[in-house]
Structure 1
Amino acid sequence: NPMTVRNGTQEFQKRWGMRPNEDYWRISNKQSLLKNMSEEEASQFAAFDEAKADSLFGAATSAEADSIDAAEKAKKDSLANDPHEREYYLKQIPFTEEQMEESNRLLGDALYNAGIQEQEQLENFPLAEKTMIRFLNDFPEHEGTDNVFYHLFLLYGRLEDMEGAEEYKGYLLEDYPDAKLSFLLGNPNYEMIAREGKHVEDSIYAEAYAAYQTEQYDKVEENYQFSTDNFPEGKHRARMMFIRAMSSLYGGERDTFMVTLRDVVQKFPKEEVTEIAQAIVKGLDEGRALMDDRYDASSIWSRRTRGEAGDSTETVPTLKDDRYCNFNFVLAYPTGSLDENILIFEMAHYNFTNFMARNFDIEIQADEGLSMMIIKGFQAYDEVHAYAQRLFADDHMRTRLEGIRTLLISDENLQMIGKEFSFDDYKEFYDEHFAPLDIPEDLKIDVPEGLEILDPDELDKREEEEKQQEMEEEDDDDFPFGF
């Protein structure tokens, strides 16, 4: 910086005057000084190192050296952290045994994940095969080897290379006999389960429940064993175990009942039947006796929390048959019986694509094993009825909503469901008061919100009031002929 240099020069001249750039510049008259010295003193003076004697100069030199070292170190660090520089990769070369183990772990994880993604997501089977074979050759002891065997079995089966598929199936069964995947492939019904597993599991559970209701406990046990052998982690596993436990109880096998019931509580804490199982286990642990009432999966639809025996002085609530008020479309299902996130997406997508001018809100409520998805924003029964008709006319949505109970219910009546009235109670009320109503076939739901929907009687009354008001205004006119 020229200005800094100039200021420094001026300051130096102000303090020291004009001095030449030479050794011993602080001594203005060196010759006269040397004349007054002996030869020994003069030689010592000539050998005098001013730089070493000058503490300021030494400090400056040391600070400059330190700053240079720091700059060089910072440069090396920046290069070592820049993936575009050679030093970045040299720094990562493992030298110690611990570094080699960590390096092998990272590389093994990368090959494992890459191979599965290449097969399942990219469907690049040659590349997936190459990656997984490399994984097995380079890291045979790495975690996940059994899963790689299984994926190679699937890959060769997809390529119709049955010899290769059987080879890796054999590796899996031989090296990992206790793995879940070995259990799956070792099942003689594997192909049937892979193709029709969902429908078979549903059928087996339905048969077991029907057998339980008709007290065919041997049939329940038979279906339970088939489910255990073929669907140990199926979606009906908790319910199947619970049915088996109750069958054991009524069949006289109390020990089996208790063991199975505790397994349900421990292994499936979030399932609907777990709440019932937990209540039974807790009661038995407290010394309570078992009741004779039989478990019925349909009981959630007839459940109400407030019994009929109440204070006689209280006002008995009743369901309202008001047609022209805010209504809701409700989807009800046992908690945990379906993926709520998928259902929310399907309903939101349907509403957005079919009713762009309306803003239907979606709310989830859950209580004691029963969940409700409530679609709000209907201004009358006619609207929610038209919405339901249009929804179930859609083939995709009708399939998605199979097995889910629906309600068309007003805000006021919804507050009483599960409390004063059960779902079955409301169905009887609906069939009597709402189902017979005539609904306009050309009713349009996709209109902007804020339009008022009036009862026809209210509309006639409002028209009469408007006519009466016009007549009164004409009577008050002092100049009826426009003068």
Structure 2
Amino acid sequence: MINFNPIRSGVLLVAIALIASGCSTQRNTWLNRNFHQVNAWYNGLFNAQASFNQGMRVLSDEHNDNFDQPLSIFRYATANQRQQISSNMQTAYTKSSRVVARHSMFIRGVEYNRLIDNAYFLIAKSHFFRDNYIQALATFQYVTNSFPPPLAYESLVWQAKVASFMGNASEANRLLGLSFSAIERAGLLQSSVGRFYHFVAADHFIRHNRIADALVNLQSAAELTRSRKERARLTFILGQHHYSLGNLAKAREHFELVLDLSPGFHLGFHTKINLAFASIGEDGDPNIIYGRMQNMLRQRQYVSQRDRIYYAIGVLALAKNDSTQAKEMFRQSVRFGSDNEIRKGQAYYRLAQVYLSENDYINASNYYDSAMVFIPAETLGREQMLLMQSILKDLAQNVAVIQREDSLQRLATMSEAERNIRLGEIVALIGERLQADRQTGADQRTQFRGMQASPVAGALGADVEWYFYNTTAMRQGRLEFARRFGNRPLEDMWRLSNQTTDEPIVAAQIGNEPVGQDEEAPTGELPSIENLMADLPLTPEMLTISKEKVADAYFAKGLIFKDRMQDSLKAVVAFRNMVNYDQSTDDTPTAYFYLIRILEAQGQHNQANQYKTHLIQRFPESPFAKIFSQPEVLLRAQELRDQAQQRYQNAYLAFTQQNFQQVVDDWHATESLELDDNIRGQFDYIKSLALYRMGKTDEAMQMLEQIVANREGSSVHQVAGQLLEVLRREPTLAEIETPIGNQPEVFDEAISLFRFNPNQVHFFILAVSRGTTDFSTITQALERLNQDDFAARRLSISNVFLSQDTHLITVTSFPDKESAM
């Protein structure tokens, strides 16, 4: 039998009633506020913040500092590494969004739940760390406009940070100015908000090379930082930037402060290295610094850093203009840096630069190829490095042609007995290289088989043998593939013989200097003397061909120096070699012309006049000779071109006025003039249009056929072919094109600023009203749909706060219209 207790039942009923009334988000009572604040924190925001913090710890752990460049202010790793925390940020976003949906007490324009601002702020930051900058910026703006300081000011600083990351420097500058004024007025410059402002400002100014402004903010950030570890890192960055500006005393001061802060091993080691560099200009004796580096090499604690020490000694050697020692030290850096790809890339790059300074373009090209395998894609200045790699590749090819053909010509002039002795020596040398290459391959295979017993494999467990669990094996395999096949794209049937690589095949042996110093790397079987004899220019015809190759290579070198490297001094040498060579080609007059113009620009008029005389004597009928010998002829030719251009203007005007016979007459008036292909092609094209409008379709088509056959390279060649295809299928008059060249510009006043392109990236956007729809339910439904039906597309679902009452749910990104629909 159950005993009824009226008091207990009454209390229970009251409690139920209070809880039920506390669930309302539209009643501003003490019970309601506390109910939703407690539930907001323990049922969502706590876990959201924990997930966010975990992601930030992972990001910090994944970040690898490159001590050869100024360290970044924020440790945000690379874009690919940030993908690892996508799930953490998604969790933070989802839980924070649910907190807003379930516990926001937004009543008559006022938010009464004091934790909702933190939820919005966490949503904005989760957008940022998923690289959704537009959504992040919109949410930070909402926080700034909707909530009080200091969060509003911090959110304003975040807006500046997002704008800077998006590359909008002017907007970032404006927002930084607004946030500084607001923080200063509120007396918060010494608070955590002020410290964060200095971090963001310093990072922004460094991004836009305003180092002096960055140093002021970086100094303030360091002074406001309590953590000795973090303050040591900021002070090290200060030293790096002072060193880059040439402020050696300031740089030394900051590096010494770092050592006083008891930094960790890596930061301490690199501080000593940088302190040594900063001291070179003061004591005037690089040998003292060199002795310090040698002493570090002998200490066991620095065994793992020998590649860095050798690299530093190489830089010191360059400062002493000792390129021989520099090259040896950089090679040692490569040798001991087997696990440091970045260091190896930098050492290869330094070697390439040394050889380039010595005009050894073949070795410079080889080392550039090796460097670009290891230097990360996000490295500052890598585009310029790739450009120089391409230039050096072309330059090295021409140098190799000159060396090869000169060598073959010298062998051809030897007596048969002397030639056979020399060819035998060459065969023996190639055999030695082949043997060394085979031994290198065997050593690499032995090293690969031994990787299973490496510390990396041991760290994964004794039973781990799968190749893809061994990062060292994967790296070695990737580099070996690149060495043999180049950096090919990932695609089917990649080994087909007619496929090409995206970049030149790497000339580097793994862990050693590039193969092939002055000759190609020996691969395959040992050649015989008879094979080598086949390439010798032993007949007059073969000798002429060989000499023409040399002359063409000199000309190509001159063009590379003149146009691509902007080095007029070396261009003069190359063009002079060509015009003085005992074999002329069709490009020899052009080489004379370039040589003369460069010498005139350099003020060497006597030499320029000498080469003008040589040009006129050797090639009197060339256009370049007539420029100097018959300037009046060139002036007359220019007058004729101007007349032809005026005739075309008249013909075009006549065509627009439908005076088609006048167009034909103007064409005939210029028929006897010597015009370049482009002007002549335009005349032919407008005449063909006029003939068609006059009903002479066959004649129009004949004229178009002549343009297609004879005017390749002119501005009307392609459009003439297209029009010819149209005429062959009996077009309407509206399909006939207008003439090409000197057409009046037509502007449509109704043209919109926006254009629809179905091939561009598309977003799905759904506008949701807070008052009528539960956007959390919609978001969850979309997430389930995405997981069930669209998982392979890796779509991202986000929530953008358009206004107080309207949210935008975005699904991104679809590659084009068809995918989005």
Range class of TM-score, shorter chain: 0.3 to 0.5
TM-score (ref. length: structure 2)? 0.22
